[in-house]
Structure 1
Amino acid sequence: MTVMSGIAARGESVLFMAACPDCRARIELAAGALRLAIGGSRRTTFYSFTCPECGAAVRKPAGERIVELLTGGGVRTLRLHSAL
């Protein structure tokens, strides 16, 4: 099951719809509540958030479409680089 299910715009702010895999709550998160890490592979590209319902730390893989949605919605992005 994909946690990120879509986005909704309300006025000027963008809300991202998500579901917590631990408590199964369906939640809306502002861009500031999410983090996106972009690595050199599919395994190292992911988004994360803390579930506001149960406090669980959630980390899920982010494909190209999710990366596009999150970056377009103002989510802070960290680019990961491998050490040589």
Structure 2
Amino acid sequence: MSPVSGTSVSSASTGCVAFKAACPDCSARFELDAAALRLVIGGSRRTTFYSFTCPRCGASVRKPAGERIVELLTGGGVSTLRSV
């Protein structure tokens, strides 16, 4: 998946999961651990998203999360909130 449209996952030999992402504001590319991401699963595609704070510029980033991204993030231990 591309950094702008989604998040990719890599696993180090230590078993830690790192998610590759990019900031749409400053274009920085970086890796985040599960604790740096939040996933919100809503009742529709429009209300299901993940978010993080850019470590470079401090921007709050919110991106849509389709089924595959939800699967990757939950499998990688990202904190999940279900909204109504």
Shorter-chain TM-score bucket reads over 0.9
Q: Give aligned-pair identity as a percent.
A: 70
TM-score, normalization: structure 2? 0.92
Structure with the greater alpha carbon radius of gyration: 1
Contact 2:48 2:64 in 1 (8 A): yes
CA distance in 2: counterparts of 1:48 and 1:77, whole angstroms? 11
Q: Contact 2:6–2:69 at 8 Å: present in 1 too?
A: no
Q: TM-score, normalised by structure 1?
A: 0.92
Query: How far apart are residue 12 of structure 1 and its match?
Result: 1.8
Q: Does 1:12 pair with 2:18?
A: no
- 1:70 corresponds in structure 2 to 73
> Contact between 2:53 and 2:59, CA under 8 Å: does it hold in 1?
yes
Q: Aligned with 1:15: secondary structure? A: strand
The aligned residue for residue 83 of structure 2 is 80
Task: Look up the equivalent residue of 1:63 and give its one-letter code.
Answer: G
**Gapped regions of structure 2 (runs ≥ 5):** none
Structure 1, unmatched stretches of 5+, are none
- Partner residue, 2:47: 44
Check conservation: 1:36, 1:75, Cα contact below 8 A.
yes
The size of the alignment, in residue pairs, is 80
Q: Distance in 2 between matches of 1:68 and 1:7?
A: 11
Question: How much is the aligned-residue C-alpha RMSD, in angstroms?
Answer: 0.8
Local SS of the residue matching 1:22: coil
Q: Distance in 2 between matches of 1:80 and 1:13?
A: 28
Report if the CA contact (8 A) 2:10-2:17 is conserved. yes
